[in-house]
Amino acid sequence: MAGRNSKVRYAVVGLGHIAQAAVLPAFAHAQRNSRLVAIVSGDPIKRREVAKKYQLDQAYSYAEYERCLENVDAVYVALPNSMHAEYTIRAARARVHVLCEKPMAVSVHECRRMINACEKYRVKLMIAYRLHFEEINLRAVDLVRQGRIGSPKFFNSSFAMMVRGGNIRTQTELGGGTLYDIGVYCINAARYLFRSEPVEVLAMSVHSGAQELSEIDESTGAILRFTKGRLAAFVTSFNAWDVSSYRIVGTKGQIHVDPAYEYAEGLGFELIANGKKTRKTVGKRDQFAPQLLYFSDCIRNDRKPEPSGEEGMQDVRIIQALYRSTKTGRAVRIQSSADRKRPSSAQRIRRPGVRKPRLVKAASARQG
């Protein structure tokens, strides 16, 4: 296993769009403490061509996963949502650390099993909330915390895209659905901006009849009630024009972040307070290398990483409650959880943007 001064050896598990477009290229910006040594995929063409591109001599099928685990210190799990729990638990049993894509899993029960397995085998578990390390979102968090908009009162967000038919996000069996895929960003943002946990949620899903989205919620509107008279509202959709933004409004001003959740372009915000407007933007940055750098340091220095499994589980708990509300038409109370005070600018890590590589049998979820 990796020592304090050695690089952490990673396998990337799953070679879909996010892995090929963002995770694999990020290792070039994480060379200080991280090294890509293996890939895992069920597609032999992907294994061969991606291994050749990154000069890897270890490329495994899913059936060979345990053999892969014998030769790495950590895995980046970039599989469909329904597979996160299984491949995390199998890695933990092999005493391999896990950096898992969000959502953490498709149920609180699965999340708890993941956390328990990692604790039992004494390995690190981190959920890949890349925006916990990103400058614009962390700046917004700091401005709210510093009281620049007064007391925060409400949060509003929109996240939508036109999703290709047949994409894994449209398949219930694979953990598809707008709340799991993009709603998790809105929920997490509301939580880290309010620095608090919702106590009650209400949601409604609608469907226009699009056959390719028949298995999931095409669009969902949600309201989260927090303590101290605060509300968060958001809409997610897989059948609407691309939008990715949020606004948090307080007693003395507001912050509008747009784009807010993207990784393939620059982000920016506008602060309106005391009769003045302040605009800040950053160009495209590598949002994945910071996660690798931070997680590898946690492994080498034996620190618990944040965002942790508990952080990921709370978002899944809220997602499950929202889906329950869409079925019953009633508000659902959320199990109490200690308010989480992170992230903050102390976790900011900057790395330059990466050029999108040629993809092998992988395509973006977006149409066009």
Q: Whole-model pTM above 0.85?
A: yes
360 by DSSP, 3-state: which?
coil
Residues with active-site annotation: 102, 185
Mean pLDDT of the chain: 95
pLDDT at 351: 94
pLDDT at 111: 98
Question: Which pLDDT band, with edges at 50, 70 and 90, does 368 fall under?
Answer: low
Mean pLDDT, residues 94-101 taken together:
98
Q: How far is CA 349 from CA 112, 136, 259, 294, 306, in A?
A: 29, 11, 19, 8, 14
Mean pLDDT, residues 262-270 taken together:
95
* High-pLDDT (> 90) share of the chain, %: 90
Among 33, 129, 25, smallest CA distance to 355 is for 25
Mean pLDDT, residues 244-261 taken together:
98
Mean pLDDT, residues 25-46 taken together:
98
Positive or negative: CA dihedral 131, 205, 197, 86:
negative
Residue 161 pLDDT greater than 80, yes or no: yes
d(C-alpha 34, C-alpha 40), whole Å: 17
Question: Which pLDDT band, with edges at 50, 70 and 90, does 337 fall under?
Answer: confident
- In the chain, where are the structural domains located? 8-130+288-307, 135-282+316-341
* High-pLDDT (> 70) share of the chain, %: 98
8-130+288-307 matches 135-282+316-341 in fold = no
* 276-282 vs 267-273, strand pairing mode: antiparallel
pLDDT at 245: 98
DSSP calls for 109-171: HHHHHHHHHHHHTT--EEE--GGGG-HHHHHHHHHHHTTTTSSEEEEEEEEEEEBPTT-GGG-
Residue type present at position 128: A
d(C-alpha 256, C-alpha 101), whole Å: 26
200 by DSSP, 3-state: which?
strand
pLDDT at 3: 58
Please tell me which residue, 5 or 267, carries the higher pLDDT value.
Answer: 267
pLDDT at 345: 85
Which fold does the domain 135-282+316-341 belong to in CATH?
A: Dihydrodipicolinate Reductase; domain 2 (3.30.360)
Question: Which pLDDT band, with edges at 50, 70 and 90, does 2 fall under?
Answer: low
pLDDT at 318: 98
Q: In what order do the strands lie in the sheet with 74-77?
A: 59-60, 34-40, 8-13, 74-77, 97-100, 125-127
Residue 329 pLDDT greater than 80, yes or no: yes
Which fold does the domain 8-130+288-307 belong to in CATH?
A: Rossmann fold (3.40.50)
